[in-house]
Amino acid sequence: MSQQQPVRLKKTLSMWQVVVMGLAYLTPMAVFDTFAIVGDITDGRVATAYLLALGGILLTAFSYGHLVRKFPSAGSAYTYAQKVFNPYVGFMVGWSSLLDYMFMPMINILLAKIYLTAMFPGVDPWIFIFGLVTVMTFLNLRGINLVANFNGLIVVIQLAIIILFIGLMGWGIYHGEGAATLMSSRPFHFESASMVPLFTGATILCFSFLGFDGLSSLGEETPNAGKVIPRAIVLTALIGGVIFVVVSYCLQLYFPDLTRFKDPDAVLPEIALYVGGAFFQSVVLVCTTVAVLASGMAAHAGVSRILYVMGRDRMIPERVFGYIHQKYRTPAINVLLVGCLALSAVSFDLDTALALVNFGALVAFTFVNLSVIGQFWVREKRNKCIKDHLVYLLLPLLGAATIGALWINLEQSSLELGLIWAGLGATYLFLRLAVFRIPFRQYEETADSQ
**pLDDT in tens for each of the 450 residues of the chain?**
445 566 778 888 899 999 999 999 888 888 888 888 888 888 888 999 999 889 989 999 999 999 999 988 767 888 899 999 998 999 999 899 888 778 888 888 888 887 788 778 899 989 999 999 999 999 999 988 889 998 999 999 999 999 999 999 999 999 888 888 888 877 777 665 577 788 888 878 887 888 788 788 888 888 988 889 999 999 999 999 999 999 999 999 999 888 888 877 678 888 999 999 989 988 888 888 888 889 999 889 988 998 998 888 888 888 999 999 988 889 999 999 999 999 988 887 777 777 778 888 889 999 999 999 999 999 999 999 999 999 999 999 999 998 888 888 777 888 898 999 999 999 999 998 888 887 776 555 543 344
Rounded Cα gap, residues 418 and 423, in angstroms: 9
Burial tier of 176 (Cβ tally within 10 Å: 0-12, 13-18, 19+): exposed
Q: Which residues contact 122 (CB under 8 A, 6 or more apart)?
A: none
Angle 163-106-220 (CA atoms, 0-180°, nearest 5)? 80
The pLDDT of residue 1: 40
Beta-carbon count within 10 A of 304 CB: 29
Average pLDDT, the chain: 87
Contact 57, 242 (CB under 8 A): no
Q: Which residues contact 417 (CB under 8 A, 6 or more apart)?
A: 352, 355, 356, 359
118-172: pLDDT as tens digits: 778 899 989 999 999 999 999 999 988 889 998 999 999 999 999 999 999 999 9
* CB neighbourhood size of 197 (10 A): 17
Give the amino acid at 141.
L
Q: Confirm if 272 and 37 have CB atoms less than 8 A apart.
A: no
Q: Dihedral of the CA atoms 17, 23, 29, 35 (nearest 10)? A: -170
* Whole-prediction pTM: 0.85
**In 3D, which of 321, 318, 331 has the Cα closest to residue 144?**
331
Residue 120 makes CB contacts below 8 A (sequence gap 6+) with none
Gap between the Cα atoms of 65 and 236, Å rounded: 12
